[in-house]
Homo-oligomer: A and B are copies of this chain.
């Protein structure tokens, strides 16, 4: 085993590949796929997306200062890739993907019905970093597919949702669970 210096680059993996929805009326609702996203604070719950200003959705997000992050699944992998490669300037992405928009609850941007979990966000600050602008955001609401809520415990069973991960150019299924947070210090019974 040995480590060699390679080159500076964007190598934090695996990461989500989410579909971000935006727009404030059904006529301008659009979507884009983003992997530069994550949680930045637990309380208050905050997250970010980084977006190239050239993307068709960028002016919408800046104008409304709102967007929705929709987690993606194995069934949505083809649409997730397509939405990331194509532009809303050239296509009506809702028609082409068959994904279903629901009106937002706490934001004007729509939620994708087929996504198991959608996060409604309000932008607090935009940081210009280079190719990408980072949208520092508050989480206003989380909307979940009720099929994945355990009726007894009320827990969201994300492990049943078949989420996908993105790693170094490839979309992957999530594989077997190795352990739960804290498993390394759990006493054996």
Contacts and interface: CB of A to CB of B under 8 A. Distances in A.
Contacts of A36: 38-42
A15 B1 contact: no
Interface in A154-189: 156, 158-159, 163-185
Contact of A184 (B69, B82, B180, B185): B82
- Tallying the copies of this chain within the complex gives 2
Contacts of A172: 174-178
Interface residues of A, number: 94
A71 interface: yes
A163 B13 contact: yes
A61 to B, nearest CB: 16
A134 B175 contact: no
14 contacts: A1-B113, A8-B142, A15-B38, A40-B129, A40-B132, A40-B134, A41-B132, A77-B179, A171-B177, A171-B180, A171-B183, A172-B174, A172-B178, A173-B176
